[in-house]
Amino acid sequence: MKSVFVRGRIKEKSILNWVQALIILFYFSQYILDWPLLKLSRIKGQFNFQDFVTIFTAADCFKTIGLQIYVPDPTTQLFCYYPYGRTFIYIIDLFRIPAFLAPGIIIIVGFLILNLTLKFLDTSTRVEKVIVFLFFASPPFWLAFERGNVDLLICLLVLIAAYMATTNRIIGSVATLTLATLIKFYTFPLLLIVLWKNRKALSQFLSILLILTTAYIIFFDIQAQNLQQPGSFAFGTPIVTFWINAFSSNFNLPIEEVSIRLGHFIGLALLGVITAAFLLKDAVITNLFRPKSASLIENCFFYLGTVYVSCFVLGMSYDYRLIFSALAGLFFMQATKNLGAYRWLLISIWALSVWLSAFSFGLSPKMHLLVQWIGNGFDFVTAGLIISLIIKQADIRVHRNGKRWRILYD
């Protein structure tokens, strides 16, 4: 019996390595062939790992021009411009990391994300392994890896923070999330939630000090960047603006142009309706995640899902942020093994959301618009599902005491 068990474990591990090797082979072939799928979608960058190389080049410029790297200057090198938190620049400058190492670093980051995710998932069936490949080989990962986008580093830090929280290393988890937040600001809501959930284990004074300090640094960085608008409505709840205006324009409907603010409000209302619909299906949702659960699978889903929802609600640019949705979908798959056919329906919607959103695949403009609308619609479904599961996992309940309502949390 023991030898059979050992052989079974070796076989299972070899299959897992085979899936990992297939994913690596896919990206290696794309790299060698100069990213034909991105060319087909007409979104290929100027050169490989463009974003990460630009950041490290800006770090060299920081030595001579300081915070002027936040201001685009046509008289200087284009690559001296830096649009993210200055903490990352300080780290690069502190360790004197040369720009030529940037491609190697982002490749290592991508490999670590793949390796950690596969270890945390511990998929057991061939169907699950195929889905893992489909999610990792989806367009958001093409673009993030080809660009060498810093969101990959944020994704790795979020995974590490989730693992630390599971192993009761709360201080390490909070420190990792703080670093991620200071590099790119959209993990700040997750940091606040983690501090709140662990308020009994952490010093309240230090938690408040950390929040205020982080908020001040973020504000300072945004002021230094002189941003004209905090986000883009190419993704998330504000995309309803684009839906309505494009629809009325293409069909010559007598509808006044919808402003971004109004479209954002309508998008939030739509997201609320979808979330409520999932919450009302108690027979389906209640058994997905156990309230107050702290397993590794569910923590990874909670951390990655919260980051995705934050970006979705704010309407930040669509492309790289979908990697958080894709990984959250994989952990959702592992956490809902007892759900049956409904599980595969939701996974299919999740897969379509990351494959169809905003990627043209060489289609005609009108067909691309239709495909994008379908993908964005599925984005709303997955975002609403994530919010409903986060509420269920946190065990948030509304209780009426006389004429007053109060929220019970945790």
**pLDDT, tens digit, for every residue of 363-379?**
887 788 888 889 999 99
pLDDT at 60 over 90: no
pLDDT at 399 over 70: no
Residue 72 has a pLDDT of 66
Q: Tell me: the pLDDT tens digits for 323-333?
A: 999 999 999 99
Closest CA to 240 of 65, 383, 88: 383
Residue 380 has a pLDDT of 95
Lowest mean pLDDT among 35-49, 71-85, 99-113, 286-300: 71-85
Residue 212 has a pLDDT of 87
Residue 224 has a pLDDT of 64
Decide if 67 contacts 224 (C-beta within 8 A).
Answer: yes
Residue 172 has a pLDDT of 94
Q: Tell me: the pLDDT tens digits for 90-103?
A: 888 888 888 889 99
pLDDT at 277 over 70: yes
The first and second tokens of residue 55, run together, are 């950041």
395 or 358, which is more confident: 358
> Which of 183-187, 286-290, 326-330, 369-373 shows the highest mean pLDDT?
326-330
Residue 275 has a pLDDT of 92
365 or 408, which is more confident: 365
DSSP 161-213: HHHHHHTT-HHHHHHHHHHHHHHSGGGHHHHHHHHHHTTTTS-HHHHHHHHHH
Q: Which residues contact 179 (CB under 8 A, 6 or more apart)?
A: 87, 157
